[in-house]
Amino acid sequence: MATVPPPALAPLSIGPVYVGFPVVQAALSGYSDCPMRVIARRLGASYTLCEVMLDQFLLSLKGRQRTSHFLYLTDEEHPVAGQLMGAEPEQFAAASTKLVEAGFDVIDINFGCPVKKVLGRCRGGFHLGQPDVALEVIQRTRDATPAHIPVTVKMRRGIDDSAEARDNFFTILEGAFARGVAAVTVHGRTVKQRYIGPSNWNFLREVKQFLGDRIVLGSGDLFSAADCLEMMRQTGVDGVTVARGAIGNPWIFSQARALAAGLPLPDPPSLFEQREIIAEHYSLAEELYGVDRCAVGMRKFGIKYSALHPDFEQVRPDWGKMHGREDLQAVFAKWYSEDRPGQHPDPAIHRGQGECGA
């Protein structure tokens, strides 16, 4: 998609937290752990969000080695947000305290997840259908969070396309800022849509016009650097959160920075450049999860990274068979030993495949 940089791409701040370049990495359940966030930061993301965590899970967390990665942060990640999801307002408050103690700079409330099992437990996007409960969640979370830590909310544009859903959305939106929320992220699909059909960017423009100077981040259908700038240009939102488009393609952030500076779109990373970052990602995961545990978790990342390889269809299955560092080296030897040009990933690979928080 051809794009024209916004006339004034202002740096982003969320309350007292300075972010800078307004293209950031979204929270992604099962993906946006510390290694993914660090790689994104090193390649140009100014701000990242941790994968969504259940309030009940956080309150029961005992610091065991197998679960310690959920609250693991590094110095180079800041600013970084922790994202909360749950059903009961009082548990949000206690869980927010746990995230603050862990060192997160921003607390984000998830009212957007459209996954069926989440909705069935009255979590995520379910709250968009009950404004009173949603606003109580926000109030309790804001009250329990220190004043210097911003609280933000992630929303979809409603449960569905009904007039009632629209009214509920704007009731929660206005009430959120009245209760001290510093910013909202709005995804342009409804909860009912999940990840099917296009994201409604016109609705994002309407939300930004409605809120004026208050901070709005946009989400939905951001699969390239050009998409990120085009959303800001079309809608006027203050920033964008890249979700599925960042999995296996952290270069999207440096590419967006180049376009925003008026430079041509950089070439996709070559196979040697890809190999270097994948190896770096694997080492970070190995350090966090241990030698025996990291490989299985890295399979899904390898599969996503393979979309940048010119022989994607042939490379992808080998990533799915990885059991350890020897298999990593075997994939490198077979598919990344010659420094060939890479390719920009096909957005069709991601469309229809959702990760909660996206």
Residue positions annotated with a catalytic role: 113
What CA–CA distance (Å, rounded) separates 195 from 222? 12
Structure token pair of residue 210: 């409605």
In the block, residue with structure tokens 């701000």: 47
Burial of 194 (0-12, 13-18, 19+ CB in 10 A): middle
| Strands in the chain per DSSP E | 12-14, 17-20, 23-25, 48-49, 53-54, 80-85, 106-111, 151-156, 183-187, 215-219, 239-242
Q: Report the DSSP pairing between strands 12-14 and 17-20.
A: antiparallel
Q: DSSP assignment, residue 189?
A: S
Q: What is the largest CA-CA distance in the chain?
A: 58
Q: How far apart are CA 293 and CA 66, in angstroms?
A: 9
Strand partners, 17: 14
DSSP state of 246: G
Amino acid at residue number 337: S
Pick from 235, 252, 250, 198: which is nearest to 220 by CA? Answer: 198
Q: Is 263 exposed, middle or buried (0-12, 13-18, 19+ CB in 10 A)?
A: exposed
Query: Are the CB atoms for 222 and 231 separated by under 8 Å?
Result: yes
Tokens of 119: 């909705």
